[in-house]
Amino acid sequence: MSGLLVCLTFRKVFIASVIGAGMFLIPNGVQSAVDNSATLQWEANQEPDLGGYTVYHGTDKNIYSEFQDAGKTASFRYADLATNKTHYFSVTAYDTSGNESLPSPEVHKTIIGPDSVLSVSVTGDGTVSSIPDGLSCSSGICSGTFTQGSSVRLTAIPGTGMTFSRWNGACSGTDACVVPISTSPASVSVTFEAERLTAEAQFKKLQELAEAEYQNQLGLAKAEYVEQQALPRAEYQNQLGLAKAEYVEQQGVAKAEYLNQQALAKAEYQSQQALPKDKQLKQRALAKAEYQNQLKLAKAEYVEQQALAKVEFLKQWELAKTEEQQAVAKAEYMNQQALPKAEYLKQQGMAKTEYLKQQGMAKAEYQNQERMAKTEYLKQQGMAKAEYVEQQGVAKTEYLKQLALAKAEHLKQQGAGKTRYMKQQELAKAEYVKQWGLVKTGYLNQRALAKAEYLNQLELLAKA
């Protein structure tokens, strides 16, 4: 066994202090459906002036409605505790002078009463249910078990065309049925009878049935109409989706073709640009090489002419002894020098003129090729754009055509659905009017019979 330890130690004052012994319930905090007693035990106080123990009891936490003097015995037993309740206990010690200790920690025990049987007998078409759950009857006899000391509320629900008549047994009459569960089994019977209708009530009921049937027919016709509307609308949306998808696809193809044509034209243009540039560079290199060659030849010839003139000059100089002869020789030498230099400069001018001419021709050729390539590129772009615009126009025309066809089909389906809906409404209304006529005829017939019976009774009373 285990429990909470409480020490009951006294000082010679009005209220003692609690410092460590214990009290426990055997067992503590349990629920019992068999034993409605509770046994308490605690550790005995060893003070020489112990007067005894007081045991407190209640059915609310920390609130005690009674107490018992346990004497000096460190235990106490409660018997015949109320069922379906939780019981709380605490204990204090007191000395011979009447001083009382602080209370021990609280312990508790829940006592649950045993179950008892409740039987229900059903006569007629109807259902009986219980609160709390545990019993549900629709025919014959059924039973359920409920805790003793509790109460069970029974509810009677009549079937179609039936009415609740009365309770018998543990409940009686037509009031609410609440059965207290005791130690003895209880039984209840319930009776359901066929609903008795007057001619007017029967007429009203038939009216309600005809109205319900009319509303049902209307609902079916409306549901069918909505369904038929939904189908062409769904088909229309589907056609729209397909036409749009095809349009987008054609746009994508045309755009891809357009971009492809652009890429090809650009590649061709760049290729054309590269070729004349290479050709120009080649011609420039050739012209430059030719120019440099001409320069080398002219220079070599010039140097050679200078050397010959110098040799001739020296020769003439040597031969000439007089100043006049030297002057003639020097003039001849200068003349000889001037001639190759003039030739050299002339050759240089001719080579440069040829070089510039070659450059001009190469540049003209390059620019001509560039203009042709650009013209071809723009032409290709224009053709690709025209093709793209044409394909867009075709795709858009097809898309609008599909839209028009889908819309026409949608309107056609809507018209067919609406016609059928109106027809269903007319049929439902005709059926309702027919039912109304039959009900009214039956009502008038019953009134005539009732009046004839009334007049017959009056006549019999007059004769009597």
Domains in the chain, CATH or no CATH each? 8-111 (2.60.40.10), 115-196 (2.60.40.1140), 225-426 (no CATH)
Is the backbone of residue 179 left (phi > 0), alpha (psi -120 to 50) or beta? beta
Place of tokens 């021990």: 104
Give backbone dihedrals phi and psi of 51, rounded to 5 degrees, phi first. -95, -35
Q: Give the model's pLDDT for residue 355.
A: 85
| Contacting residues for 75 by C-beta, under 8 A, at least 6 apart | 39, 40, 41, 42
Mind listing the pLDDT tens digit for each residue in 283-338?
888 878 888 888 888 888 888 888 888 888 888 877 766 777 778 778 888 888 88
- Tell me: the pLDDT tens digits for 35-66? 788 999 999 999 999 999 999 999 999 999 99
pTM listed for this prediction: 0.33
In this predicted structure, what is the pLDDT of residue 77?
A: 94
What is the four-CA torsion angle of 360, 366, 372, 373, rounded to 10 degrees? -160
CA-to-CA dists, residue 312 to 13, 242, 305, 317, 335, angstroms: 161, 104, 10, 8, 12
Average pLDDT over the chain, rounded to an integer: 83
- pLDDT tens digits for 366-399? 888 888 888 888 888 888 888 888 888 888 888 8
Say which residue, 180 or 147, is predicted with more confidence. Answer: 180
Q: How far is it, in rounded angstroms, from Cα 144 to Cα 163?
A: 25
